[in-house]
Structure 1
């Protein structure tokens, strides 16, 4: 890490996430999963929120509807995602992961846990909790803005 950024907390956090994502997608690629970063975000969100509507996903991902529609179509074409009309309001599409989508999401979660352990290797439980608390405070500061 370059010395000029050593005191820039947000830059360091950004670089940590950059390395995390690079490692995660390296593992996905090596596992023969043809999933992009944005597709993985969709799989992760829909996995946590089965039956989510594209509008919910658009707000979460901060992407426009056309861009999101292409992502959803790509995931449907790959057999990782299904979309069905809401039974109460047929104008709303509900998204669900297929078995293949669930498998990839499970792989991503396992890799995430492994990378989390790698990232905090050598930390005591107290240091780990302190780091969580500090990062949580940084997050809350932005939420209050």
Structure 2
């Protein structure tokens, strides 16, 4: 680490990778959350709408796995989306223990505006990045996520 960085135990966590990622995420969220609210969506719900637009009739478990979330948290989001008229829940003919999720017309109407806003924020975030840097950046984030998922499984004593 360079001389201008703090040593571990002396504020290191203020300048390390997790803090940089957290600060970027918070800045992104500060731009996206108000827009989601203007669409009638609460925190976290836009990602569910986006997921279901691509994975129509997904299960709660599939969605929880994709986002690395607790299925109960996904269930709470889905309950609210169903009450709001954005999602319907239907029987899963392949597994009576699970339900399939589907966007309603109201939910489908939110997909394009949300995706357009996300693209606009991505452009702002990646301003000045070359196409190659953009591709690398996204690849680095995905590799970092995979490393963390593996570490979590290792710490839980689970093999993937």
Counterpart position of 2:134 = 128
Q: How far apart, CA to CA, are the structure 1 residues paired with 2:142 and 2:97?
A: 38
- Secondary structure, counterpart of 1:37 in structure 2: coil
**2:55 corresponds to 1:72:** no
Deviation per residue, 1:7-59 (Å, 9 max, x gap): 41121111111111221122233xx3121112223222222321111222334
Q: 2:90 aligns with which of 64, 75, 84?
A: 84
- Secondary structure, counterpart of 2:101 in structure 1: strand
Q: Displacement of 1:6 after TM fit?
A: 6.2
Q: How far apart, CA to CA, are the structure 2 residues paired with 1:88 and 1:131?
A: 39
Q: 1:45 aligns with which of 33, 41, 51?
A: 51
Q: How far apart, CA to CA, are the structure 1 residues paired with 2:80 and 2:99?
A: 16
Length-normalised TM-score, structure 1:
0.79
Counterpart position of 1:16 = 24
The count of aligned residue pairs is 140
Q: How far apart, CA to CA, are the structure 1 residues paired with 2:97 and 2:149?
A: 32
User: What stretches of structure 1 of length at least 5 have no aligned partner?
Assistant: none
CA root-mean-square deviation = 2.5
Quickly say closer, same or farther: Cα 1:140–1:87, change in 2 above 3 A. closer
Counterpart position of 1:107 = 113
Length-normalised TM-score, structure 2:
0.72
Q: How far apart, CA to CA, are the structure 2 residues paired with 1:137 and 1:73?
A: 32
Structure 1 segments (4+ residues) deviating >6 Å: none
User: What stretches of structure 2 of length at least 5 have no aligned partner?
Assistant: 1-5, 152-160
Quickly say closer, same or farther: Cα 1:134–1:94, change in 2 above 3 A. closer
